[in-house]
Structure 1
Amino acid sequence: MSESTRGARGGLMLLGGGAFLFVLMAWFAVNYERVERRIDLPPMGEAAWNPLYALKQSLRADGIQAESRPRFTQAVGTLGRRDTLVLLDDPRYITAARADELLAWVERGGHLVVRTPPGAQLSKHESLPLLDALGLQAMGVGDCEKFQVTGEAEHVEFCGDRRFVFEDVEPELSWGNLRDGYVYARLAHGQGHVDVLADVDFLGNGIGPRGTTPARNGLRDVPHQVLARQILAPNYGHGTVHLIYAVQMPSLWRTLVERGWPVWLPLLLALLAGLWASAQRFGPVLPVPGTARRSLLEHVRASGEHLYRYGKGALLYAAARQAFLMRLRRRDPVAAALTGEAQAAALADRFGLPAARLQRALQVPSSRERREFADRISLLMHMRNRL
C-alpha cells in the first residue's frame, strides 16, 4: 500500500469520526435541557439537635428575643414578668415544687406553654403535679381535629394525641368538647396565662417533605405558623421567649448508643480483632489413643528401649550374649568350650563371617561404643537363630 493511499484512508477515518461526534453533540443539545432542582438537605449544626431551632430563628427575625436550651436549669425567679416559657417535653418530669414555682411566676404575668403526657397509656396512679395544680385531668388519645386556614388546603391537627378535661376551672379559650376531650385550652392564672395542648410538635422544625402526616412538617406549613402565632399571643412582643426542648435529658448510655456509634463501633471491632489475634490457637484434632494390648513382643521391646534410654545397655548386651552362648553349648559344645581367638576362628568357619568381627561381637561394648552396640547384638541374635 502506497503512502498516499494510507494518508487518504486516515483522513477519511478522521473525517467520519468528527462527523459522528458532531451529530452526537447536536442530538444532546436538542434533546436535553439544563434545569435547576432544589433538594432539601438534612439539618446541620444546631438544627440537627434542637427541634425548636426554626421557631427561635423565626421569632428573632420578627424582632422577638428568643433563647433555646435543652434543659430548664435556671431558677424560675430569673424569668421576666412578661416572658414566655415553652416546654416541649413530657410534663410528668416536672416535680410538685417546680410546678408551684412556675405557677407563681405565671401569676406575676408570665406565659407558660405545656403539653399533655405523650404515649398511648397513662397509669391511673401516675402523678401530674402541673396539670393537677391547673385543675386539668388527662384522658386517652383521640382522633384528629380539623384546623382550617383561609386560602389553605384542608388540614387536621392533634391526631392520636392525649386529650384532657377541666375540673372546676373555666378556660379563656378551648378547643374540643366534653365527650371527646379537649386538645387546647388557655387558662388565666393571676396576671399571666397557661396554654395547655395535646401536642406541640407543630412548633418543631419539620422532619418530612410536604404531604406527609399532619404536624410532621412543623413550621414549614402555613397552618402551623398561624397556630404558633396564636399560641404565643399573650406576651408576644414583650419579654423573652424561652424554648426548652428537652425537660429530661436522655441518659449518657442512650446518647452514646444513638450518636456515639461512629466512635465506639470501630473501637469495638478493633478490640475484638485484638482478642482474636491474641487468642490461643488449637491444632488439629489428636487421634484416638490406641486400646491397651498385651503383646509379649511389644512389652519386651518397650523394656529394652527403656533400659537403653537410661544407660542400661550393658544389661541388654549381656542378655543377648548369654542367650547365644547357651544355645551354642547345646548345638556346638566344642566351639562353646573354646575362648578368645580360637573360639572366634571356630565360629568364623561355622558361619562364614570375619573372625575379627565375631571376636568384637563377643566382647562387652563400652558406653562410648553406642554405634556398635546395635550391630553386636544384631550379630549375636543372627548367629543364635542359625544354630
Structure 2
Amino acid sequence: MSARLRWLLVGLVLLVIAVPLAILFLRTHERVTEVERLPPQGEASYNPLYVLGQALRADGLTVQSRPRLDLTRMPLAPGDTVVLLQDSAEVPAPAVTALMAWVARGGHLIVRTPPIGKDDARNGPLLDALGVDSEGQESDCQPFHVRDDPQHVEFCNGRRFAVAPPTGITLERGWGDEESRVFARLRHGHGRIDVLADMAFMHGKGRPNPAVPPNAANAIIDGLHDKAHRDLTRYVLAPNHGKGTMWLVYASRPPSLWNRVFYLGWPVWAPLLLALLGWLWQRAQRLGSELPSPPAERRSLLEHIRASGEHLLRFGKAPLLYDAVRRAFLARLRRRSPTAAALAGEARVHAIATLLQWSHARVQTALTPPAAHDVAGLRDRIRLLIQMRNLL
C-alpha cells in the first residue's frame, strides 16, 4: 500500500468520525451569553467616591480626589467644593481655621458627623466651630419623599446632630427635628457649609437588588445606583456646581504592597514556599523526636579515690591508706609548724598536742598505726588525722 493511499484512508476514517460528533454537538448545545460583574479594580476598590468623581467628570467638571485632607496640596479657590468623607473629628484646629476662611470667600464645604460607635464622646474642632453637637446622638431613619417609592428613607446609619450656629454663621436650611437633624446648610460669609449625618448615598459601591435578576440594568441598588440618591447628591452639590473644582476627600488609603503581594501574588509565592519547604525537608539530616544523649563516661576523681581505697581495704592493704593520710598530715605540719615537725617520738606528740590543744592520748592514738585487719581502728585514726590536718 502506497503512502498516498494510506493517508487517504486515515482521512476518510477521521471524516466519518468527526462529522457525526459535530452534528451531535450542535444539536445538544446552545450558545448562551452571560454577563459577569467583576469586583472593582484599581482606585474603584478603595475610593468610595470614585463613581461620583467619574460622573462629575462626565458632566464636564474639574474633579480632584485626595485620600486625606491636606490643604498644603489643595489650592482651594472661591467657588470650589470640598466633599469631606473623612471623619470631621480628625481635622486639626489649624485646618479648621483655614477651611472657615476659605468658605467665607465663597467655598462650599460638605462634612459629616463622626460615625456611630467610633467615638461617642467627641465632636472635633470643625463641628465645634460650626455649633454642631453630635454627642450622645443616635441613628434614626429619616423619611425621604420619592414619587415611585413612598417608603423611601435615608440616613439610617448616620449620627444625628443638633445645630446652634455661632455668631457669623446662620442656618439656611435643615432637615429633621430641631434637636435631631440629619442635614443642615449653614451660611458663612459668601459660602456654605453642609453638615450631613451620613454620606452613604454618595458612595459608588451598591448592593444587589433581590427583586430583579442579577444581570438586569438595576441589579445593583443603593449608593449612586439609586435614582433618589442621585437626586439628593445633585441637591447637596448644587451651591457651587459648575463654578470651580470639586475636591473629593475619600478618607481611604490604597491597599499596601504587602496586601497586594499576599492576595494577588499567591500564584507566585505559594509554589515558591512549597519548593523552599521541600528543599528544607530534603536537606534535613533527621526528622522526628529528639533522641536522648548517650551516657557520658564517669571520670570523677573522688570516685577513683573511693574505688582505690575500697580495693586496698578489701585485699588487706589498710596500712597503706593510713600511711597516705599520715603523710598528708605531716606535710602540712612541716609547712605550718616546722619546729614540731622536726621533733620525733614523744616530743613530737607533746608539741602537736600543745599546738592543737588536744589531749596527749588522743594525738598519740592518731599517730599510732592500726592493726592490719582493724577496720574500725583504721577509720578512727584516719578521722583524727583529717581533723588534726584541718586544724593546722
TM-score after normalising by structure 1: 0.58
Q: Measured at CA, do residues 55 and 276 of structure 1 come closer, stay the same or move farther in structure 2, by a change above 3 Å?
A: same
Q: Measured at CA, do residues 182 and 20 of structure 1 come closer, stay the same or move farther in structure 2, by a change above 3 Å?
A: same
Alignment partner of 2:70 out of 66, 69, 73: 73
Answer yes or no: is the 8 Å Cα contact 1:76–1:102 preserved in 2: no
Name stretches of at least 5 consecutive residues in structure 1 with no aligned partner.
1-13, 293-298, 300-387
Pairing of 1:184-263 with structure 2 (within 5 A) = 184-211=183-210, 217-246=222-251, 249=253, 255=256, 258-262=259-263
Answer yes or no: is the 8 Å Cα contact 2:114–2:123 preserved in 1: no
**Residue 98 (structure 1) aligned with residue 72 (structure 2):** no
Alpha-carbon RMSD? 4.1
In structure 2, the residue matched to 1:52 is: 49
In structure 1, the residue matched to 2:154 is: 157
Q: Supply the AA of the counterpart residue of 2:175.
A: W
Alignment partner of 1:285 out of 258, 269, 291: 291
In structure 2, the residue matched to 1:173 is: 173
In structure 2, the residue matched to 1:107 is: 104
The percentage of aligned residue pairs carrying the same residue is 42
Answer yes or no: is the 8 Å Cα contact 2:206–2:224 preserved in 1: no
**Residue 134 (structure 1) aligned with residue 135 (structure 2):** no
Q: CA offset at residue 201 of structure 1?
A: 1.9
Q: CA offset at residue 175 of structure 1?
A: 1.4
Q: CA offset at residue 47 of structure 1?
A: 1.6
Measured in 1, the distance between the counterparts of 2:32 and 2:291 equals 69
Answer yes or no: is the 8 Å Cα contact 2:140–2:160 preserved in 1: no
Measured in 1, the distance between the counterparts of 2:107 and 2:72 equals 14
Q: CA offset at residue 274 of structure 1?
A: 9.0
Q: Measured at CA, do residues 206 and 264 of structure 1 come closer, stay the same or move farther in structure 2, by a change above 3 Å?
A: closer
Q: Supply the AA of the counterpart residue of 2:155.
A: F
Q: CA offset at residue 20 of structure 1?
A: 7.8
Q: Measured at CA, do residues 23 and 90 of structure 1 come closer, stay the same or move farther in structure 2, by a change above 3 Å?
A: same
**Residue 143 (structure 1) aligned with residue 140 (structure 2):** yes
Q: CA offset at residue 87 of structure 1?
A: 0.9
Name stretches of at least 5 consecutive residues in structure 2 with no aligned partner.
1-13, 212-219, 299-306, 308-392
Q: Supply the AA of the counterpart residue of 2:66.
A: R
Q: Supply the AA of the counterpart residue of 2:164.
A: E
Answer yes or no: is the 8 Å Cα contact 1:120–1:141 preserved in 2: no
Q: Supply the AA of the counterpart residue of 1:196.
A: V
Give the paired residue count. 270
Answer yes or no: is the 8 Å Cα contact 2:183–2:195 preserved in 1: yes
Measured in 2, the distance between the counterparts of 1:243 and 1:69 equals 6
